[in-house]
A and B are shown apart, each in its own frame.
Chain A
């Protein structure tokens, strides 16, 4: 690695030249370390910044958009929802338990430092297929890490998704989401703008763990990555719980002027970003920092990524009151510096200045314009011959239901406390989105995360757009109105033009879909270098989208299970011959290619508006979107969840010309299965006409214990409800075993 200031840095030669040019001198070792961290991909977004500019950030409800630790949206009644998603991929690939646990720790701090109480967690996970014992090991300990941390701090893990694909075998993706609520006037910003204010460091003692965590996250995994294990931090949920309560109590004093968590880049990142946002500077004395180990150098203290730490900017008049709260919770604290007029970060140790840098060089590094090129593989993959039609569609459905991508994830969410907080109204597995009530109000927040990496691989533009569409469909299918999204963009090495092309196209898809739905993107995270230098393979592009919605009154909530025998079953939207990247091709035929679903933007918007209005008017008894596994799997899951049967005429499904198996398992967008009473069906049709949405009655809910799909007089697919329940419920557990 090249040298800067006499130390090894992970910067390119050109970047090193730029540092010297901006600074007009050679930085010393401490300064070089600080610049190295802040110019890393993880902290600087240097490759992605230009591309991310196209995401729409504006909206009536937006209180705080991208650029802060979390997005803040107004949900009415004086409340705001705060949410953010972050990746912890590299650490989890090496040390799944601590990697995932500290992922939760980090995302919780992001919500907390906006002044909001964290009320829910979600996890969006990707692993290699479970036939590999390595993947099983990763999954088992990632789930345990998330559970042990989340359960202990008393924040329920309420939803999430898991995908399995060979491309995640060595590079698992662990994305975590936290949602918070606050009164609008309680929001605090990560900003230091009043010279003389004190800088207070609270929480865990600073040690040597996690040094260079961000530079480790900003390069590909190699066969030597095991040596980077010390870059993985170790979490302490007990201290975090105290930190949460102490922080929320301290904010109530009114003396907290700025607040930021210490995550990637440690003290260097927190201090420089807060000072830069406030157009001021900060003076920090590292000899005041409470330490866990002796003999730590200023370099190590400034770069440590030790967990469970928060940086408070405190009005000097209130410092005693604030530190008394920290004492009550038995948290360690130290006053480590003050806000200064000059826009620079001055680091002192034992009275001597050891680093002095302009805030801009740290907090606003130069961006890079990367080359993008469409990969050659794509056109080949799209031209795949359709596989033969299976002879037994019932068996095909059973195989899909028990497949690891579709089967119930109860094995996972049983290990998460999803009830603590007494807000969980729609619980894990009961709806397409989780719904959390606002205590004391007749109002709830709906939240769901989505991404179909197999679709994205074949068409990153429509894959990105589709992730937004599906996340929003999940929100309206519980009766909530989507109001904002955040995204977590997981890709390979951006220095490779084919990977950067995937990234660009996916972001463009997300941006176009957001615009079509008039939904802003209020925050996000980019994770590059998710590739494996040993095999040379990158992960399938995975732009994970989290949509947040508002539902009120709570009585308008709709859930997934069928409700009563005799209810009419209807399908919203049209089905196209779009099987590329489908679960059906992957699980049943072992095919990776084909023409993936495209998003019809205008139709998607109309469909969402129709379902939302139908839910609000109380016309829907059950709703579920069609996604992985297509119509057959959606219908089956609604049966499974209720224990009720269904009798459906497939010929009534509005669709273009295609084979029966394609009709049942195509993963076209803009579709829902709904059920309604006979009396309300006519109203549904009227409403569909008003919204220019295709709606077709396809069958009835039955209590005969049979799940039946007919086609032109034939019983094309017939299963006992008990059998599909068994297949779906046991599919995952059978692979993992309990315990």
Chain B
């Protein structure tokens, strides 16, 4: 049976939430793994949960990015195993250079917790192959530093390689400045690596995986976890087809 790790750093705080969804909602064999004990070869996929690893000291995600555990995450990414970074997990993946760009302070200069809409831009990834391009998903965000940034060249590459996976939109899927909660470049909310097996996003799919938690009675966050689970169980499409 496939095994998924939820990687815990000191200060991770969405670890138990993510584990709950993987185990109780998706019915995957998942476990919490303390960063010191994490080994790439034991797991088929890894989720880097949200939180404040190392208290956001220096810069969100930067200390965790240099931890030995991230060498194992890199190895898994290289091997084509699914790697999902949510919120602080996304920040860590970016700081570790596994995903391109940077996540900087929100334009409001405050923490923002609210439900937003996301437009799915790329359904040719391990985590989104079950969705349709243009599909609108409702999920909450909760972050201080979620404004995606990249330079002109970097942004061009992102689009050329179809790495933009989610953008903040309105309920109709229109990507407008009003729908951008934090000032992200081009409303970018989530991106993948060139090989499409690593996804990082600021919104929290684990908080949107059950109808009872959604103000809209939706469970759009499930899409990401279900796609990963079916991929792991061999039902999904091989990544090689997408590159």
- Residue numbers of A with Cβ under 8 A of B are 144, 147-148, 151-154, 236-239, 241-242, 328-330, 413-422, 424-425, 427, 430, 437, 439-440, 554, 738-739
Interface membership of B21, Cβ < 8 A: yes
Given A241-B11, A242-B10, verify A420-B111 contact (CB < 8 Å): no
Which residues of A lie under 8 Å from residue B206 when comparing CB positions? 422
The answer to whether B113 and A238 have CB atoms under 8 Å apart is: no
Inter-chain CA distance A236–B11, complex, in Å, is 12
The answer to whether A238 and B11 have CB atoms under 8 Å apart is: yes
The answer to whether A152 and B207 have CB atoms under 8 Å apart is: no
27 CB contacts below 8 A, A to B, read: A147-B111, A152-B55, A152-B56, A238-B10, A238-B11, A238-B55, A241-B55, A242-B10, A329-B10, A330-B10, A414-B111, A415-B111, A415-B113, A417-B142, A419-B207, A420-B14, A420-B17, A421-B16, A421-B17, A422-B21, A422-B210, A424-B213, A437-B212, A439-B20, A440-B24, A739-B109, A739-B110
Which residues of B lie under 8 Å from residue A419 when comparing CB positions? 113, 140, 142, 204, 207, 213
The answer to whether B110 and A414 have CB atoms under 8 Å apart is: yes
Which residues of B lie under 8 Å from residue A148 when comparing CB positions? 111
Q: Which residue of B lies closest to A151 (CB)?
A: B111
Which residues of B lie under 8 Å from residue A237 when comparing CB positions? 52, 55
Q: Contact mask B21-34 → A, CB, 8 Å, 1/0?
A: 10010000000001
> Among B16, B21, B110, B215, which residue has its beta carbon within 8 angstroms of that of A415?
B110
**B80-100 with Cβ < 8 A to chain A:** none
Q: Which residue of B lies closest to A143 (CB)?
A: B110
Q: Which residue of A lies closest to B141 (CB)?
A: A419
Interface membership of B13, Cβ < 8 A: yes
Q: Contact mask B2-21 → A, CB, 8 Å, 1/0?
A: 00000000110110110011
Given A419-B142, A419-B204, verify A152-B11 contact (CB < 8 Å): yes
Interface membership of B112, Cβ < 8 A: yes
Inter-chain CA distance A151–B206, complex, in Å, is 17
Interface membership of B108, Cβ < 8 A: yes
Inter-chain CA distance A417–B213, complex, in Å, is 14
Given A422-B213, A427-B215, verify A416-B113 contact (CB < 8 Å): yes
Q: Which residue of B lies closest to A328 (CB)?
A: B34
Interface membership of B149, Cβ < 8 A: no
Given A154-B13, A241-B13, A422-B213, verify A417-B111 contact (CB < 8 Å): yes
The answer to whether B113 and A425 have CB atoms under 8 Å apart is: no
Min CB gap B212→A, angstroms: 6
Q: Which residue of B lies closest to A155 (CB)?
A: B13
Q: Contact mask B58-95 → A, CB, 8 Å, 1/0?
A: 00000000000000000000000000000000000000
User: Other than the known A153-B13, A413-B113, what 6 A-B pairs have Cβ atoms closer than 8 Å?
Assistant: A238-B52, A416-B111, A419-B207, A422-B207, A422-B210, A439-B20
Which residues of B lie under 8 Å from residue A416 when comparing CB positions? 111, 113
The answer to whether A152 and B52 have CB atoms under 8 Å apart is: yes
Which residues of B lie under 8 Å from residue A427 when comparing CB positions? 215
Min CB gap B157→A, angstroms: 32
Interface membership of B129, Cβ < 8 A: no
Min CB gap A157→B, angstroms: 9
Interface membership of B190, Cβ < 8 A: no
Q: Which residue of B lies closest to A153 (CB)?
A: B13
Which residues of A lie under 8 Å from residue B146 when comparing CB positions? none
The answer to whether A238 and B57 have CB atoms under 8 Å apart is: yes
Which residues of A lie under 8 Å from residue B34 when comparing CB positions? 328
Which residues of B lie under 8 Å from residue A417 when comparing CB positions? 111, 113, 142
Residue among A236, A328, A419 with the most chain B CB within 10 A? Answer: A419
Inter-chain CA distance A640–B213, complex, in Å, is 21
Q: Which residue of B lies closest to A413 (CB)?
A: B113
Which residues of A lie under 8 Å from residue B213 when comparing CB positions? 419, 422, 424-425
Interface membership of B114, Cβ < 8 A: yes
Q: Which residue of B lies closest to A557 (CB)?
A: B212
Interface membership of B54, Cβ < 8 A: yes
Which residues of A lie under 8 Å from residue B114 when comparing CB positions? 414
Inter-chain CA distance A413–B13, complex, in Å, is 19
Which residues of B lie under 8 Å from residue A151 when comparing CB positions? 52, 111, 142, 144
Which residues of B lie under 8 Å from residue A239 when comparing CB positions? 55
The answer to whether A422 and B17 have CB atoms under 8 Å apart is: yes
Min CB gap B12→A, angstroms: 8
Which residues of B lie under 8 Å from residue A241 when comparing CB positions? 10-11, 13, 52, 55
Inter-chain CA distance A437–B13, complex, in Å, is 18
Interface membership of B51, Cβ < 8 A: yes
Inter-chain CA distance A239–B112, complex, in Å, is 23
Which residues of A lie under 8 Å from residue B112 when comparing CB positions? 414-415
Which residues of A lie under 8 Å from residue B212 when comparing CB positions? 425, 437, 554
Which residues of A lie under 8 Å from residue B14 when comparing CB positions? 154, 420
Min CB gap A562→B, angstroms: 15
> Among B10, B21, B108, which residue has its beta carbon within 8 angstroms of that of A739?
B108
